[in-house]
Structure 1
Amino acid sequence: MVAAGVALLAEGGWAALTARAIARRSGANTGLIHYHFGGLPGLRREVARSAAQEVVAPFVGALAGDDDPAAVLDRLAELIPAAAADEAAVRLMVELIAGAGRDPELCQALRGDLREARAQIAARIARLRPDWPAGRCRGAAVLAAAQIDGLVLHAVLDPDLPVEEAAETLRALLTRRR
């Protein structure tokens, strides 16, 4: 049911997430929504969390996974235009932001997931920069996440955005020694 909900959210926004539509798409009956999720609001929260994971996981994996910062930047330079060109992913991002603005419980669930993603990124930064205090690692994680969000937004609006140049500039800033 969650996967069906994510697909419906990408196709038609929050208005498309009705109990009947989700049940029909998933091949289940509407009673199961109440049984498993306590009702449609509970299922919507799980759909939002799954959609956010689908959108965010590749970026967190890129930032938290590789030991080579240059490889991380190369991977991000690939992911950003790909995400911007993925209409379903863009619609999910827009709907998640809109939904979180309207539903405090949904916002709280997504906030927790984003905090966890930033914590994973901060932990990776701490391993790369063991001399940095924890607060600086958390701050760098916030900046990295915000930079990705901003670049994806700009790439959606401007498909000719020079993402590779931005990645190269960031590489120069990160590797510069004082």
Structure 2
Amino acid sequence: MRIGLDLLAEGGWAAITARAVADRAGTRPGLLHHYFNGLPGLHVAVARRATEMIVDPVVDALLAAPDTAAAVEALRTLVPDMVAGERNLRLAAELLVRALRDPRMGAERRDWSRALRGRIAGRLAQLCPDWPAERREGTAMLFTAVLDGLLLQLILDPDLPTDPALNATAALVAKP
């Protein structure tokens, strides 16, 4: 998995070949078929691991926040770290591009986004039980969109300040 991530950061998806992985690992290419059901399975596994490394710390902090204001503060603190360093920047960009071009990766990303929205809506049900389901679901979609949007904006402009967008988000999700 580490080798797959290294290759992805170095040369994009085209760099992750059975031969390249086997050469770096000092193994036979056939082991990829055994452990990952072939190269496409390795690609999916690498995408999942990259998402776990880049996005999951932010999601975990978001879901652990005691209220919506703390959730926005978690985003304020952790979102810039998603693309900190050249490696994370390249991995994040490759994940988004591949999700757009590859139906299997697109389905993986869609399922991940749906699950994330469900988890956020569930957390909001605990934090804001007086909110109607539509508001909780809409807020979950907003948080997911903010996370995805900021990630994309930081890929394009790593020096972009995120505070203005997060201040606007905080105003939108504040309890009335």
TM exceeding 0.5: yes
Identity of aligned residues (%): 47
Aligned-partner residue type, residue 84 of structure 2: A
Per-residue displacement from partner, 1:114-172 (whole Å, max 9, x unpaired)? Answer: 22222211211111111223333222111111112222333444455332344344334
1:73 shift after superposition: 2.0
> For residues 155 and 102 of structure 1, what CA distance do their matches in structure 2 show?
21
CA separation of 1:162/1:99 partners in 2, compared to 1, >3 Å: closer, same or farther?
A: closer
CA separation of 1:174/1:100 partners in 2, compared to 1, >3 Å: closer, same or farther?
A: closer
1:109 shift after superposition: 2.0
> CA contact under 8 A between 1:85 and 1:156: conserved in structure 2?
no
The TM-score with structure 2 as length reference comes to 0.85
1:69 shift after superposition: 3.0
1:16 shift after superposition: 0.8
1:112 shift after superposition: 1.5
Residue segments in structure 2 that go unaligned for 5+ positions in a row: none
1:71-82 map, 5 Å: 71-82=70-81
CA separation of 1:159/1:173 partners in 2, compared to 1, >3 Å: closer, same or farther?
A: same
> For residues 100 and 172 of structure 1, what CA distance do their matches in structure 2 show?
31
Give the SS at the match of 2:95.
helix
1:1-178 map, 5 Å: 2-175=1-174, 177=176
> Pairwise CA RMSD of aligned residues?
2.2
> CA contact under 8 A between 1:60 and 1:120: conserved in structure 2?
no
> For residues 114 and 133 of structure 2, what CA distance do their matches in structure 1 show?
15
Per-residue displacement from partner, 1:2-49 (whole Å, max 9, x unpaired)? Answer: 232122112210011011111233343211101122211111111112
> For residues 152 and 118 of structure 1, what CA distance do their matches in structure 2 show?
16
> CA contact under 8 A between 1:63 and 1:124: conserved in structure 2?
no
Residue segments in structure 1 that go unaligned for 5+ positions in a row: none
> For residues 67 and 81 of structure 2, what CA distance do their matches in structure 1 show?
21
> For residues 165 and 38 of structure 1, what CA distance do their matches in structure 2 show?
45
> CA contact under 8 A between 1:34 and 1:40: conserved in structure 2?
yes
> For residues 155 and 43 of structure 2, what CA distance do their matches in structure 1 show?
26
User: Which stretch of the first structure deviates more once superposed, 143-152 or 166-175?
Assistant: 166-175
> For residues 16 and 37 of structure 1, what CA distance do their matches in structure 2 show?
17
CA separation of 1:157/1:100 partners in 2, compared to 1, >3 Å: closer, same or farther?
A: closer
> For residues 125 and 174 of structure 1, what CA distance do their matches in structure 2 show?
11
> CA contact under 8 A between 1:64 and 1:121: conserved in structure 2?
yes
